């Protein structure tokens, strides 16, 4: 049978149900017990009357007997039905079960017990229809195409319940983040998504138009600058968890729209931050997965690090040791040679589009960008955990410099399983220094670097009114994807996917 055949048969049943005077989509339900309660508290509920509700997953009818499997979000249980004349013509007995299908939502009231085979069951003579479905759910084996799964995520969650379980852990991940921050005196403040000038990260923004003001706006790429304005307004510990938007490619580690977390603490610096956020990352992992040990992308990771603090390794030292690169006196030819050599060893070496992209980058990117690309070659082979510290000034336009070395900044990244799991630094609060750095970024942007930051004079003005010294930190849900061991699109409820035209 085709999908249309199944749908037409269910439409026929729907009409028959309506002709019986039964509302196939009632608003009121009387559920008082979740299925998980029956399974976990059987002794307490045995021989007690309960009302359950959920989706039919299977129907087996044997004349006067019927067994109906029903699931809700908490579990699955069997309904044991015997033939009995209807006392209420709005209900379904064993004779009317032919009008119901797998996938329909029903409600059942009956006593908890065990069948002759020992299976926990709800014994009832009648069920009530809560929602008639018109399309059958595909079997697990017949719904494996990723594009179809992402496009019909609501079906995916039913066919592949581990997707739903993953989203529950995703919620725990962010709740644990909130709990940790709130318990340390931070206040959550939601910041604007629409901005006249966007900044706080190196990324290409989305643009939109507001009819009310007849102006174009950017969708934020970061919560950073509004949160630091709150520090200027007298807040001392603030954070925001919410969506941000970066007009970039879609791959295992990047989604143009994703949830991100940023926080700022006045009167603290990057050394305070590394201690605080190391504890936070471990707390969130433990609350979400119940462990600090993970195997990710072939890396065995122990966030506890044997009970010792994570190592702190300087950016310049890593590049010098690995590629003999002097980040303070870079040789552009050396950088391009390194990138071409490493590309020749990669899986993309025979990909014409990848070759073209590399050559375009080598031709147009600033020297600072090329240094960053070389660093990423090191990062992807790093198991961690360790803190990468003191990035060059040119790569950190919002961070304070180290007092005894003004060429590097008080910036820190946790490196775990080949990726950066966050970004933090001692925040720049010198308005003149910030203006000069913004101007350099704007010049890079004017020269064609679409990821360079914009000149934000309003933010500079805020700094002129005064902002206390502070430590800032941010991480995205990429941390969740990484430790969950899946791609970004597998880990969000409704991933970006190209529409069908």
d(CA 49, CA 321): 71
Give the pLDDT confidence of 266-275 residue by residue, as tens digits. Answer: 999 999 999 9
Instruction: Look at residues 105, 17, 99 and name the one whose alpha carbon lies nearest to residue 66.
Output: 99
Q: What is the SS3 assignment for 477?
A: coil
Boundaries of every domain in the chain:
3-136, 158-310+384-491
188 touches 237 (CB < 8 A): no
Q: What is the SS3 assignment for 133?
A: coil
For 267-344, strand residue ranges (E) read: 293-296, 299-302, 312-314
Burial of 268 (0-12, 13-18, 19+ CB in 10 A): buried
Burial of 2 (0-12, 13-18, 19+ CB in 10 A): exposed
CA angle 46, 51, 53 (to 5 degrees): 120
What is the 8-class DSSP label of residue 310? P
What is the 8-class DSSP label of residue 47? T
Query: Which ranges of 290-327 would DSSP assign to H, the alpha helix?
Result: 315-323
- Residue 348: CB atoms within 10 A of its CB come to 13
pLDDT beneath 50, residues of the chain: none
- Residue 225: CB atoms within 10 A of its CB come to 21
Give every CB contact of residue 401 below 8 A, 6+ residues apart in sequence. 393, 407, 408, 409, 410
CA angle 187, 188, 194 (to 5 degrees): 140
Q: What is the SS3 assignment for 208?
A: strand
- What's residue 200's pLDDT? 82
Domain 3-136 bears CATH identifier 2.40.50.140: yes
Question: Which residue has 């028959």 as its token pair?
Answer: 16
Q: Do domains 3-136 and 158-310+384-491 have the same CATH topology?
A: no
Instruction: Look at residues 490, 472, 473 and name the one whose alpha carbon lies nearest to residue 481.
Output: 490
214 touches 317 (CB < 8 A): no
283 touches 291 (CB < 8 A): no
Assigned CATH class of 158-310+384-491: alpha beta
What is the 8-class DSSP label of residue 84? -
- What's residue 63's pLDDT? 84
Report residue 178 as tokens.
């909130």
């Amino acid at each position: 049978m085709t999908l249309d055949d199944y749908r037409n048969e269910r439409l026929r049943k729907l009409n028959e149900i309506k002709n019986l005077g039964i509302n196939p989509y009632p608003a009121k339900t009387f559920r008082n017990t979740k299925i998980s309660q029956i399974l976990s508290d059987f002794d307490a509920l045995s021989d007690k009357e309960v009302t359950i509700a959920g989706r039919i997953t299977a129907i087996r009818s044997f004349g006067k007997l019927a067994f109906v499997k029903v699931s809700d979000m908490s579990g699955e249980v069997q309904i044991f039905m015997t033939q009995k004349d209807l006392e209420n013509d709005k209900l379904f007995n064993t004779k009317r079960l032919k009008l119901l299908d797998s996938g329909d939502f029903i409600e059942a009231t009956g006593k908890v017990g065990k069948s002759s085979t020992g299976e926990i069951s709800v014994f009832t003579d009648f069920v009530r229809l809560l929602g008639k479905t018109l399309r059958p759910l595909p079997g697990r084996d017949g719904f494996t195409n990723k594009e179809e799964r992402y496009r019909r995520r609501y079906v995916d969650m039913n066919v592949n319940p581990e997707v739903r379980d993953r989203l529950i852990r995703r919620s725990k991940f962010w709740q644990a983040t909130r709990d940790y921050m709130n318990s340390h005196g931070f206040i959550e403040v939601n910041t604007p998504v629409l901005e006249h000038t966007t900044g706080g990260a190196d990324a290409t923004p989305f643009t939109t138009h507001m009819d009310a003001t007849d102006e174009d706006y950017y969708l934020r790429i970061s919560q950073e600058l509004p949160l630091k304005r709150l520090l200027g307004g007298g807040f001392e510990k603030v954070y925001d968890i919410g969506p941000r938007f970066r007009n970039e490619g879609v791959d295992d580690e990047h989604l143009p729209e994703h949830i991100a977390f940023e926080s700022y603490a006045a009167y603290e610096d990057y050394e305070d931050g590394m201690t605080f956020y190391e504890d936070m990352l471990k707390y969130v992992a433990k609350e979400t997965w119940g462990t600090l040990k993970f195997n990710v992308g072939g890396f065995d990771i122990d966030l506890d690090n044997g009970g010792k603090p994570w190592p702190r390794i300087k950016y310049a030292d890593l590049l010098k040791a690995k590629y003999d690169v002097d980040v303070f006196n870079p040789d552009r030819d050396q950088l391009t040679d390194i990138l071409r050599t490493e590309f020749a060893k990669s899986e993309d070496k025979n990909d014409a589009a990848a070759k073209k992209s590399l050559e375009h980058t080598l031709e147009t990117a600033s020297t600072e960008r090329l240094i960053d690309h070389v660093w990423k070659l090191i990062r992807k082979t790093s198991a961690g955990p360790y803190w990468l510290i003191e990035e060059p000034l040119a790569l950190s336009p919002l961070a304070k410099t180290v007092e005894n070395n003004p060429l590097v900044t008080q910036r820190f990244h946790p490196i775990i399983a080949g990726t950066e799991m966050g970004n933090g630094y001692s925040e720049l609060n010198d308005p003149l220094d910030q203006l000069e750095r913004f101007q350099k970024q704007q010049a890079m942007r004017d020269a064609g670097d679409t990821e360079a930051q914009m000149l934000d004079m309003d933010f500079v003005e805020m700094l002129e009114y005064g902002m206390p010294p502070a430590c800032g930190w941010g991480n995205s849900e990429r941390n969740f994807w990484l430790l969950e061991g899946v791609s970004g699109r597998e880990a969000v409820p409704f991933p970006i996917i190209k529409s069908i035209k």
